[in-house]
Chain A
Amino acid sequence: MSALEVVGTSKIFNQGTAKQVDALVDVNLTVNPGEFVSLIGPSGCGKSTLLRLIANLLEPTSGSVSVNKKTAAQARLDQDYGMAFQQAGLFDWRTVSKNIELPLELKGWDKAKREARAKEMLELVKLPEFADLYPWQLSGGMQQRIAIARALAAHPPLLLMDEPFGALDEMTREYMQGELLRICGETSTTVVFVTHSIPEAVYLSNRVVVMSPRPGRITSVIDVDLGSKRNEDTRAADGFFRSITAVREALRGTHAEHAAANAIRGVEDR
């Protein structure tokens, strides 16, 4: 039983016009329950598009996406996944607690149940004393933790993240990576994580999916063998560096190929 299955999926924007963009071509990806999978690649490789296809925020041009053995559309209706973005995207006019309650309100939960769950989630992200503050009173890292708490509030089996730590400083970022692993471990959540950072992808993931642009596609999938218990020592382990090198080489391959293709077409690479 897989948590997520993408089969032969393509996404073409502005099909049949001069502005046609082959954002994704024939993508296949299976993610197992509890697995942490990162999508990495240069800009325009379609990693965010793939995430939005999984989230059913975009419809595929061809192929199929299933989440939890349901269609992506049904999974969205059932709130089978939570989502976090680069911007925390908290609502300024809601307290921290009310922000976390938002997905539960939309599910029609009653007040007492919502408040109890918000409290539980705040404890999970270790910010229980901030319930009644407003988002602007929190640091960027704290806001992002609240966004994760909100994404997981309904206890979805799948978490989709689009460069959630991209706007944070390096120190906060490493701390957040550790926290994310702990939270997902405690809740046994499956994660699909879009990132630009090779060390981040390696530190977090069981598998790193390397993608390449024009047309957007998966070029290789690299298994990261660092075990399930990861901590700050992991960042100094030999396996960590080996995996980083493997991902880097895979990315370089796509880059070289990409540059060569452009040279043939006579297109300048930005």
Chain B
Amino acid sequence: MSGVNSAPNSARKVGRVRQIGPAIVFGVAFLALWESAVRGFDLKPYFLAAPSKIGEQFFKNYSRIWEASAVSGGNALVGLVVGTVLGVAMSFILSRYRFLGELVTPLAIALNAIPIFVLVAILNNMYSITSEIPRRVMVTLVVYFIVLVNVAKGLTQVRSTHVELMRSYAASEFAILRKVRVPNAVPYLFTALKVAAPASVITAFVSEYFGGLQNGLGSRITSNIANSKNAAAWAYVLGACLLGLAFYTVSIILEGIARKGEAK
């Protein structure tokens, strides 16, 4: 059995390497170019830190970066979950009462288009300075609108043939919701999550620039830059990138599980 299986498996591995190989080569080449530019042109650390120095700082401050990531990531996660739940709930209400949708959707799209995380300054005034709530509320708001707009579209934009077919079966509105609208909206939800997951991380640490607790990735980046510790600031930036990537990866994996066997 294993002899039969090993051939296609190794073939698949070769295929995988071919897929991601060029990206890895490019990344390594880019870092090498960066490193040699810093050394070759003798660039000062306050102008541009070398990747080797950033790496050194990253491993030296590993536990602090991890703690700061946990704070920013925690805020992002809370906001992501709450925003998604509220967004999905509201999209059901909007799809049930269309006139509400016509009122709310343009507003939601407009709010989505402006950088609403500046609201965090106002939220900071409303809560105590040691509270994580303003940041979480901010992430919730950002995620909420992304999820609301997409899921509402998925619930309402169903194929007319499907609706006619269900009516020909004398299906109730609830049955149409359960068997047509909800399954139709699932890919829209995951499209929204793929956008909302990285956005939640960005919002979580950009919110930290507006004051409040100094314990997250964003505030660590500013404080390190303020102390001219550029390489350390870059190490925190690296942490922020990894955190964003982690959120994005999880949203893709979730989508894969939810849509197993389906097209595209």
Contact = CB atoms under 8 A, between A and B. Distances in A.
A55 B183 contact: no
Given A85-B164, A89-B165, A102 B179 contact: yes
Interface in A220-261: none
Interface residues of B, number: 20
B161 A92 contact: no
Contact of B263 (A55, A85, A106, A136): A136
A93 B168 contact: no
A55 B167 CA distance: 9
Contact of B162 (A55, A76, A91): A91
Contacts of B165: 83, 85, 89
B159 interface: yes
Given A93-B186, A134-B262, A103 B169 contact: yes
B184 to A, nearest CB: 8
A93 B184 CA distance: 8
B170 A79 contact: yes
Nearest to B184: A93
Residue among A57, A91, A93 with the highest chain B CB neighbour number at 10 A: A93
B168 A76 contact: yes
Interface in B145-194: 159, 161-162, 164-171, 175, 179-180, 183, 186
B261 interface: yes
How many residues of A sit at the interface, in one of the four size bands?
20 to 34
Residue among A76, A87, A92 with the highest chain B CB neighbour number at 10 A: A92
Given A93-B183, A93-B186, A106-B175, A57 B167 contact: yes
A89 B159 contact: yes
Nearest to B162: A89
A55 B168 CA distance: 7
B188 to A, nearest CB: 12
Interface of B: 159, 161-162, 164-171, 175, 179-180, 183, 186, 259, 261-263
Interface of A: 55, 57, 76-77, 79, 81-83, 85, 87, 89, 91-93, 95, 102-103, 105-106, 134, 136
18 contacts: A57-B164, A57-B168, A76-B168, A79-B169, A81-B168, A82-B168, A85-B161, A89-B162, A89-B165, A91-B180, A95-B261, A102-B169, A103-B169, A105-B179, A106-B166, A106-B170, A134-B262, A136-B263
